[in-house]
Amino acid sequence: MKAPLGVILAGGAATRMGGGDKGLLQLGGLRILDRVIARLAPQVEGIALNANGDPARFDGLGLPVIGDSFPGLAGPLAGVLAGLDWASEQGASHIVTAAADTPFFPCDLVPRLIMAAQDEGAPIALAATPDARRGTARHPTFGLWPVALKDDLRMALEGGLRKVVLWTDKHGAASAIFEASEEADPFFNVNTPEDLAQAEAML
């Protein structure tokens, strides 16, 4: 498989952070988005940022900014669809998504997602970590998505579907398992001021 395109999902309202863009918060002297870009860029062919509202606030990043191509706040799946529509225009076959508020995700995210999809013969792969209660906990904002399913996803959203795993389970989704601990959770995300302080300590 040719290296996919990367799409950073930044469409959330950040209500627990008091609004605004979590990815633009400073963490250790850099914006969280700078850290996300630095981790994702070496793993993909190119990157776009999925965000709604005035794209000018992201001018300093040097990335194309794509808004949701589905009306209303439809959650992460709308961002995935926007990414798939953008990738289709670029002639790409797949995208990998990453959340804009998760600065420590694995530097081998993309190859491990691709390997999981190929090993299980699945069209989609999601990142996951071990979970004592459920066996594994999936992180559906970190996934490998085929452009070929964009119209199916659009129809699902038009039908009212909003929960990511309900759609991925319908098509079959592999899991790429990443180790995690309380001290080093690769998918730790910054939702609150307390999380930001914890992320500073994790640096």
The sign of the CA dihedral 105, 133, 11, 49 is positive
In this model, does residue 15 exceed pLDDT 90? no
**Among the listed residues 58, 76, 93, the one whose alpha carbon sits nearest the alpha carbon of residue 161:** 76
Q: Binning pLDDT at 50, 70 and 90, where does residue 18 land?
A: very low
Is domain 5-202 annotated with CATH 3.90.550.10? yes
**Among the listed residues 158, 51, 163, 30, the one whose alpha carbon sits nearest the alpha carbon of residue 97:** 51
Q: Binning pLDDT at 50, 70 and 90, where does residue 180 land?
A: confident
* The two three-digit tokens of residue 159, written as one number: 């039908």
Residue 139 bridge partners (DSSP):
127
Domain boundaries, the chain: 5-202
What is the pairing mode between strands 5-9 and 124-131?
unpaired
Name the residue type at position 100.
A
Q: What global pTM score does this model have?
A: 0.93
**Among the listed residues 103, 106, 101, the one whose alpha carbon sits nearest the alpha carbon of residue 180:** 106
Residue carrying structure tokens 């996951």: 128
Question: Which pLDDT tens digit goes with each residue over 100-124?
Answer: 999 999 999 999 999 999 999 999 9
